[in-house]
C-alpha cells in the first residue's frame, strides 16, 4: 500500500517538481507491478491531483487508487456543479465517502483502511505539505506502522 498524505493546496514551488517525480508514472507502475493500492484523500487538488496525474501518465489501468474523503463536502463527477463542494479526483478508481462534513472527518476511516490493507500488503507512506490534519495523519500512520509490523 502506498499512502499519500498532505495538504490539498499551498505546495511550495520548490517542492512540486520533486513531488511530481516521486508520484510519477514510475511509482504508479511499481504499484501496479506489486499489486499495491494507493490510498489518499481523493480530491482533485494538491498531492491527490498529482497521484491522479501519475496514474494517467503511467497508462496502466490496473493501478488501484482509493480516495477517502468526507462525503458532505465533496462532489462526485456525476453531481451537478456546486461551488461549495470540492471535486473528486477523476482518475481515482475507487472512493470511500465518509459520513462527515469536515476536513479530518475521514482520517480515522482512512487509517482503518490502511491498517486492513497492511495486513495483506507492505505499506509505505508519503507526507507532502499539510497542516494540523496532516500532522494527525502522520501520528496515526506511526501507530498503524507499528501494528502492521507486529
In a 3-state reduction of DSSP, which class is residue 10? coil
DSSP line for the chain:
-EEEEE-SS---TTTHHHHHHHTSHHHHHHHHHHT-EEEE--BSSHHHHHHHHHHHHHT-TT-EEEEEEEGGGEE-TTSPP-TTSEEBPTT-SEEEEES-SSTTTTHHHHHHHHHHHHTTS--EEEEES--HHHHHHHHHHHHHHHHHH-
pLDDT in tens, 121-141: 778 888 877 666 666 666 665
How far apart are alpha carbons 121 and 99 in whole angstroms? 27
How far apart are alpha carbons 95 and 27 in whole angstroms? 20
How much is the pLDDT for 130?
64
Bridge partners of 127, per DSSP, are 5
Lowest mean pLDDT among 36-40, 98-102, 144-148: 144-148
How far apart are alpha carbons 67 and 80 in whole angstroms? 20
Cell of 3: 499512502
pLDDT in tens, 27-61: 887 888 888 899 999 999 888 888 998 888 877 77
> Which is more confidently placed, 102 or 54?
102
Q: Which residues contact 101 (CB under 8 A, 6 or more apart)?
A: 70, 71, 72, 73
Residue 80 reports pLDDT greater than 50: yes
pTM exceeding 0.85 = no
Amino acid at each position: 500500500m502506498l499512502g499519500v498524505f498532505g495538504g490539498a493546496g499551498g505546495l511550495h514551488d520548490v517542492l512540486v517538481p520533486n513531488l511530481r517525480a516521486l508520484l510519477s508514472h514510475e511509482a504508479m507502475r511499481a504499484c501496479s507491478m506489486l499489486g499495491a493500492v494507493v490510498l489518499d484523500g481523493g480530491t482533485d487538488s494538491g498531492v491527490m491531483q498529482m497521484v491522479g496525474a501519475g496514474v494517467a501518465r503511467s497508462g496502466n489501468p490496473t493501478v488501484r487508487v482509493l480516495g477517502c474523503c468526507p462525503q458532505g463536502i465533496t462532489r462526485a463527477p456525476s453531481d451537478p456543479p456546486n461551488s461549495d463542494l470540492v471535486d473528486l479526483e477523476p482518475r481515482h478508481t475507487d472512493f470511500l465517502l465518509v459520513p462527515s462534513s469536515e476536513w479530518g472527518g475521514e482520517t480515522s476511516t482512512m487509517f482503518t483502511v490502511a491498517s486492513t490493507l497492511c495486513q495483506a500488503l507492505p505499506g509505505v507512506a508519503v507526507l507532502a505539505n499539510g497542516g494540523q490534519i496532516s500532522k494527525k495523519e502522520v501520528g496515526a500512520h506511526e501507530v498503524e506502522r507499528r501494528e502492521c509490523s507486529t
